[in-house]
Amino acid sequence: MIIRPKDAAKLFGISIMCFCAVLISTMFLNSNIDMARIKDQITDPDALLLHDMVVSSGKMTSAVTGGALALTTVVILLFYVKHYIDTHKSELGILKALGYSNWKIARSFWVFGLSVFTGAALGFGGAFALMPAFYRQMRSDELLPDTPLRFNPILVMYLVVLPALAFSALAVLYSHRKLKRPALELIRGTSNVRVKKAKLNGKQKPDAPFLRELKQSTVRSRFSLVFFIWFASFCYAASVVMSFSMPEVSSDMMAVLMAGIGIVLAVTTLFIAVTTVIKGNAKTIAMLRVFGYSDRECARAILSGYRPITYVGFALGSIYQHGLMLMALSMFIGNDALELPDYSFHWQACIISFISFVVMYEIFMRVYAAKIKRIPLKEVMMEE
């Protein structure tokens, strides 16, 4: 089986996630390695303590940022593999009927790892483009000697090559698991999912108004999409709110970098989720329009159910960034050589960020609600 470039191009979300994760991790880990080379030159106890704290802070930032984005990339990768199999059931079933084994078909999914390699490679290169300015700002403290920038090849292996191999293997293993279904079932597009009746206090739940029930079922249909929309608001809050405090505790460069990463991740995950929701419910939207529902009612039934999830994600992201800032500053408490800023939760930044996110989210939803009007009824209804 050959995965077409059109299908592989849809994995840009994975590339963006990997780009952001590797960009941050490379900057801090490369800095730590270079700082380790100058540790023997430091004789002042305060400077030595500061050196160890900066290194520990870099490790924590790389672990938290890289780890969170790596887990998110796993979710997106598994989502794409499942989505590809679901949308190509007939072709896969025919291949199995012709004698192709699950492993032979699954092996072709290794190409999904190329998106990881592309994003990681671009993130690594982008980090070295920003590294000179990063070194100048992070080493501005007079207690520490200048740290020369060097290229550390070991990071290429750990941040670019190994992740690409690991995610390729994950795509193959997961696709093999999802392909363990009879060929006839794949060809027909049927499923063995059992539907459970909703009950309330031992009784069957009463029927809700149709559009409200449709809105609730749309949200419940795919947990992965709920996660993406939640993650979009979480990333936006955690990064943008934090960027307001970064000039006080770090540098203007880190503030701009954090805000940019948060916005890019939010837009990317929203795009993945909303486009999938629209495409997955194209026939439902077409039927609603046939029965006389307006475009506004269609958009409200399909898209508006996710709005509360974004508010929860934003609140958790704001709390998360506050805890992360407190954790980072606590590593420097007790060092008399440092003048720590008076940090507290930035309510004004949180309110401004929330308003900007709501504006961005509503514009995003309105754009895709307008796309519902352009869904061709005849083409959708003729699809098998």
Task: Give the tens place of pLDDT for each residue, 39-91.
Answer: 887 777 777 777 777 777 778 778 877 787 888 888 888 888 888 888 788 88
Task: Scan for tokens 């999914």, then name that residue.
Answer: 109
Position 50: which residue type?
Answer: L
Is 207 buried (19+), middle (13-18) or exposed (0-12) by CB count in 10 A?
exposed
Q: Which residues of the chain are under the pLDDT cut of 50?
A: 1, 192-207, 337, 384
CA distance 257 to 113: 26
DSSP state of 144: S
> Which pLDDT belongs to residue 164?
92
> Which pLDDT belongs to residue 174?
92
Contact between residue 236 and residue 259 where contact means Cβ atoms under 8 Å apart: no
Please tell me the total number of residues recorded for the chain in this structure: 384
> Which pLDDT belongs to residue 196?
42
CA distance 84 to 210: 30
Q: How many CB atoms lie within 10 A of CB 175?
A: 24
DSSP state of 81: H
CA atoms within 13 A on the CB side of 359: 7
Task: Scan for tokens 């749309």, then name that residue.
Answer: 218
CB contact set of 64 (below 8 Å; sequence gap of 6+): 324
> Which pLDDT belongs to residue 279?
75
DSSP state of 199: E
CA distance 89 to 159: 34
Instruction: Look at the pTM and tell me if it is higher than 0.85.
Output: no
Q: How many CB atoms lie within 10 A of CB 96?
A: 21
Of 363, 382, 365, the closest CA to residue 302 belongs to: 365
> Which pLDDT belongs to residue 384?
46
CA atoms within 13 A on the CB side of 183: 13
Q: 101 in the Ramachandran plot: left (φ > 0), alpha (ψ -120 to 50) or beta?
A: beta
Degrees, nearest 5: CA angle 210-211-215: 120
